[in-house]
Chains A and B, each alone.
Chain A
Amino acid sequence: SQQGEEDPQALSIQEGENATMNCSYKTSINNLQWYRQNSGRGLVHLILIRSNEREKHSGRLRVTLDTSKKSSSLLITASRAADTASYFCATEPNYGGSQGNLIFGKGTKLSVKP
């Protein structure tokens, strides 16, 4: 079963607008990461937020984490055409000490129109 689910599946916006993508997960986690994938390329790490953190910023990116709701959001401000890509959340489930694996959602496909 899917641990992380991104929402929406696809998002189309105009350059300059903000883009918000959401991720929900099922189990308690150690941390949550966001990755970007451009067409035909590998995934690129964007940001990691730990389970005891609520918000994190990196440039135009803002990530929030609500462990009570088991959800996270990624906000890209002042979007650019170059932000067009698929965005994935990845979670490391906390299995109470045993090693967990990093599990990816199916992604949100973001299209930013110039």
Chain B
Amino acid sequence: DAGVIQSPRHEVTEMGQEVTLRCKPISGHDYLFWYRQTMMRGLELLIYFNNNVPIDDSGMPEDRFSAKMPNASFSTLKIQPSEPRDSAVYFCASSLGRAGGVYNSPLHFGNGTRLTVT
């Protein structure tokens, strides 16, 4: 099992540019999560999917952020246009699911994408 795979590991871009982050979840997992981590705010949930359908995107900061999951093995998080305050580490995580509406299995995290917007 290769685990959750994120690419790229590092991204440096200029303000105003479009940034696309990619994630391949663990095969068979039906939940996929995008988190953002900063020193000031810690880990924030941006959006999560169940069976490729977005369930809760209330954590997405604003319309500049969008996420898609076209199939069970791939998801993208796009920022357009990017701003310096978007600089953070973005994590993708997947899990096997929820029984009775409760998290009963752990989240498996990728190693993140460190985004720097100058």
Binding site for B on A (CB under 8 A): 2, 30-31, 33, 35, 40-45, 48, 88, 90, 92, 97, 99, 101-107
- A-B CB pair tally, cutoff 8 Å: 54
Would A106 and B42 count as touching, CB distance under 8 A? yes
Would B48 and A42 count as touching, CB distance under 8 A? no
How far is the CB of A33 from the nearest CB of chain B, in Å? 7
Q: Interface size on B (CB < 8 Å)?
A: 22
Would A92 and B102 count as touching, CB distance under 8 A? yes
How far is the CB of A45 from the nearest CB of chain B, in Å? 3
> Which residues of the partner chain B approach A30 to less than 8 Å between Cβ atoms?
102-103
> Which residues of the partner chain A approach B93 to less than 8 Å between Cβ atoms?
42-43
Would B45 and A102 count as touching, CB distance under 8 A? yes
State in angstroms the CA–CA spacing of A44 and B111 once bound together: 10
- CB of B43 within 8 A of chain A? yes
Q: Which of A45, A88, A102 has the most CB of B within 10 A?
A: A102
Overall SS of chain B's interface: strand
Q: List 21 A-B contacts (CB under 8 A).
A: A30-B103, A31-B102, A33-B103, A35-B107, A40-B111, A42-B91, A42-B110, A42-B111, A43-B91, A43-B109, A45-B107, A45-B108, A48-B104, A88-B43, A92-B103, A101-B48, A101-B56, A102-B33, A102-B107, A103-B45, A104-B35
Q: A30-B103, A45-B106 given as contacts; is B111 within 8 A of A99 (CB)?
A: no
Would B103 and A102 count as touching, CB distance under 8 A? yes
Q: A44-B109, A45-B108, A99-B55 given as contacts; is B43 within 8 A of A104 (CB)?
A: yes
Q: A88-B43, A103-B45, A104-B42 given as contacts; is B107 within 8 A of A43 (CB)?
A: yes
Overall SS of chain A's interface: strand
> Which residues of the partner chain B approach A92 to less than 8 Å between Cβ atoms?
102-103
> Which residues of the partner chain B approach A107 to less than 8 Å between Cβ atoms?
42
B1-45 interface (Cβ within 8 A of A): 4, 33, 35, 42-43, 45
